């Protein structure tokens, strides 16, 4: 084995893809128990490793040398096997500061609140203090500063989540309400799966600069890869790798009026971008065991909307998909938040005269003009990109790809 990631549960790691782009490949995922860790490191059958939860502290006794920044943090996320033994480094601090700077979040003179007291928290605290933060507070469930008294620190200016709360597969959690920090000017969540946690969705809604942990992941991987090779490449390569990683893991979520071509265009996009395709209306029908017109007829719209919301919540937890949604899905703000977790929302806007109404129960009950008037603002508010649908689905798919900047 040349390179790899060592941890406990690694099923959804993006590291092999990122390190392949960096040239540090082949790159393997190595899931170990605590009992296996020592013998694996002592065998030394590798050139370079990244270390993740829960072993960033546990590897330290097996190292021959430890770099100053790793010693200061008390955690190692990179090991290089050299002739004189195993060297331990911590590239999380560099990755964190890169992510913050890229998001326009500066620490100089700021009061910073770090959620969590684990290994990641220690790296964040050191990095923020080193970048000039006036004060760095760490909040934990049982510490002196905890989640019952954290709002006493109402003048906090930057919030960093260094806990797994909100991380896949337990999407949806948040520890604090950032609206209660009126001076907050930056939010960083180290989580990158999903790309948008509830904490970041709150920041977006409040107009506060924010970033997820994906740029940190790519940046720290770049620094680790440089250590593997004994070189120092320019940081300018990070953005290109980040963009390719975002393209690979993100969903494209298609919204728009019934009959605008979401399913047809979605299948074309999925094939061209090598993503899975999901039609939420079809999943609702499978769950109900009947067609959507029959659901409306037998149980009513409210029942359908509940099924639809459950399907969207489940589907949008996953990444690497093109998702065609029902025409009314955006009317529920919770659906839109779920779509945003991992998705870029694309509004397919089609001339109302071109819309197909076959098998569309609401389209038959109210005029399309009235429906569009009711929904237009919801489509526009939800969407990141709007594409005017031309005559053919292939042309529409090409336009979506162009608007995404993925050509």
CB atoms under 10 Å from CB of 352, counted, come to: 14
Contact in structure between 375 and 327 (CB atoms under 8 Å): yes
Contact in structure between 55 and 33 (CB atoms under 8 Å): no
List 255's β-bridge partners, or say none: 347
Q: How far is CA 248 from CA 193, 252, 265, 275, 277, in A?
A: 13, 11, 19, 8, 14
- 226's CB contacts (< 8 A; 6+ apart) are 232, 233
| Residue 384 φ/ψ, nearest 5 degrees | -90, -30
Reading the block at residue 275, the tokens are 């993503």
| Residue 213 φ/ψ, nearest 5 degrees | -90, 5
- The helix-helix angle for 333-342 and 301-315 (nearest 10°) equals 20
Catalytic one of 42, 56, 110, 374: 56
Reading the block at residue 302, the tokens are 């409210």
Q: How far is CA 164 from CA 169, 185, 341, 377, in A?
A: 10, 22, 15, 35
- Gyration radius from the chain CA atoms: 24
DSSP 388: E
| SS3 state at 203 | helix
> Is position 244 annotated as part of the catalytic site?
no
Contact in structure between 88 and 66 (CB atoms under 8 Å): yes
Q: Which residues are known to be catalytic?
A: 56
């Amino acid at each position: 084995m040349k390179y790899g990631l060592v941890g406990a549960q690694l099923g959804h790691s993006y590291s092999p893809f990122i390190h392949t782009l960096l040239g540090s490949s082949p790159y393997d995922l190595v899931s170990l128990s605590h009992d296996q860790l020592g013998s694996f490191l002592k065998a030394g059958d590798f050139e370079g490793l990244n270390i993740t939860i829960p072993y960033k502290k546990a590897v330290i006794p097996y190292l021959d040398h430890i770099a100053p920044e790793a010693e200061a943090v008390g955690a190692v996320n990179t090991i290089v096997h050299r002739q004189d033994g195993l060297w331990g480094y911590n590239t999380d601090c560099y990755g964190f500061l890169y992510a913050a700077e890229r998001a326009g979040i500066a620490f100089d003179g700021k009061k910073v609140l770090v959620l969590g007291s684990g290994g990641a928290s220690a790296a964040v605290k050191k990095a923020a203090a080193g970048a000039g933060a006036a004060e760095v507070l760490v909040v934990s469930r049982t510490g002196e500063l905890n989640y019952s008294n954290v709002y006493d620190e109402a003048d906090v200016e930057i919030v960093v989540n260094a806990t797994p709360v909100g991380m896949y597969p337990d999407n949806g959690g948040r520890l604090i309400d950032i609206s209660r920090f009126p001076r907050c000017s930056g939010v960083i969540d180290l989580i990158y799966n999903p790309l948008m946690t509830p904490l970041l969705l709150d920041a977006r809604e409040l107009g506060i600069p924010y970033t997820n942990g994906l740029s940190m992941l790519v940046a720290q991987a770049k620094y680790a890869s440089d250590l593997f090779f004994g070189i120092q490449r320019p940081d300018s390569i990070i953005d290109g790798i980040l963009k390719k990683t975002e393209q690979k893991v993100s969903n494209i979520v298609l919204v728009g009026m019934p009959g605008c071509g979401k399913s047809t265009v979605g299948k074309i996009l999925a094939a061209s971008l090598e993503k899975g395709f999901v039609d939420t209306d079809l999943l609702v029908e499978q769950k109900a065991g009947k067609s959507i017109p029959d659901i409306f007829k037998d149980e009513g719209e409210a029942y359908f909307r509940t099924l639809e919301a459950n399907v969207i919540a489940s589907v949008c937890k996953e990444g690497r998909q093109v998702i065609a949604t029902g025409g009314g899905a955006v009317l529920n703000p919770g659906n839109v938040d779920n779509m945003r977790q991992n998705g870029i929302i694309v509004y397919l806007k089609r001339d109302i005269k071109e819309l197909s109404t076959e098998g569309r129960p609401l389209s038959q009950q109210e005029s399309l003009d009235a429906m569009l008037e009711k929904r237009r603002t919801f489509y526009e508010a939800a969407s990141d990109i709007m594409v005017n649908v031309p005559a053919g689905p292939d042309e529409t798919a090409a336009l979506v790809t162009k608007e995404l900047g993925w050509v």
